[in-house]
Chain A
C-alpha cells in the first residue's frame, strides 16, 4: 500500500525555468511533510518541510505548497540550476504512527539542462 506517491518518475527542465515536482498522499492523518534531494551514492539531504497547519512554506529558491483537501503537495524550484539535477523524494509523518517514521514516495529524477 503506497501511502505517498510521486507519479512522475522523471522531469526535464531548462536552466532558469521553474521545476514543479508533485506528490500525492492517501493517509489523511499525515500532518508533516518534507522534501529531500538525493545524489547517486549519497544520503538524502533535507530541503524544506511544511506542517499541515500551513499551505505554503518558502526557503530561497524552494517553495512547498500543501493542498490538504486534495491530499497533494508540490515543490517549486525557481530558477532551476544544473546543480539541482538529482532525485527528489517527498516524505510524510504522522498518520497514526510514531512521528519518527517517515513514509517516502518513490522519487522523481529531475534533470536541469544548461
Chain B
C-alpha cells in the first residue's frame, strides 16, 4: 500500500521562475493538505483541499501561491516568481475523509525541498 508520493524530492529554481510541486495522496484518500517547514521551525499549514475544492486556504500567502486538486491527477502546489524566502521543505499530507472534530490523522509524504538561488 503506497504512501503519499511527492515529486520532485528536490527542486532548484532561480529567482523569478515558477515552481510546481506535485502530491499523490494515499490510495483511498480524497483529502490533501500542504504544509511548509522553514529551517529550524515546525510545520506551518498552508491549504486543505478536497477533489476540485479548496476547503481552507487560510495559511496560503496572498500572492504568488496557488493550489489545486483536480478530479484526475495529483494535487499541485504552484509558486510563481519564486524568491529566496520561498526556500523550504514543502510537505503534503492526506486523509481518507473530511476532517471533523476528534478525528484528524494526516499521513505525510517525504516532502519536496525547494531551493531558490
Contact = CB atoms under 8 A, between A and B. Distances in A.
Given A45-B108, A100-B55, A32 B101 contact: yes
Interface in A27-69: 31-32, 34, 36, 41-46, 49, 51-53
| Interface size class of chain A, counting residues whose CB lies under 8 Å from the partner chain | 20 to 34
Q: Which one of A36, A89, A98, A106 has the highest number of Cβ atoms from chain B below 10 Å of its Cβ?
A: A98
Contacts of B108: 36, 43-46
Q: Which one of B41, B45, B95 has the highest number of Cβ atoms from chain A below 10 Å of its Cβ?
A: B45
A2 to B, nearest CB: 9
B101 A31 contact: yes
A94 B104 CA distance: 10
Given A89-B42, A97-B58, A102 B104 contact: yes
B55 A32 contact: no
Interface residues of B, number: 33
Given A32-B104, A100-B104, A43 B109 contact: yes
B56 A97 contact: yes
Contact of A105 (B42, B48, B100, B113): B42
A100 B99 contact: yes
12 contacts: A4-B42, A32-B102, A42-B111, A43-B110, A46-B107, A53-B102, A94-B101, A98-B99, A99-B101, A100-B48, A101-B58, A102-B43
B48 A101 contact: yes
Given A94-B101, A105-B42, 18 more contacts: A4-B42, A32-B101, A36-B108, A43-B109, A43-B110, A44-B91, A51-B102, A53-B102, A97-B58, A98-B99, A99-B99, A100-B56, A100-B95, A101-B56, A102-B45, A102-B104, A104-B42, A106-B41
Interface of A: 4, 31-32, 34, 36, 41-46, 49, 51-53, 89, 91, 93-94, 97-107
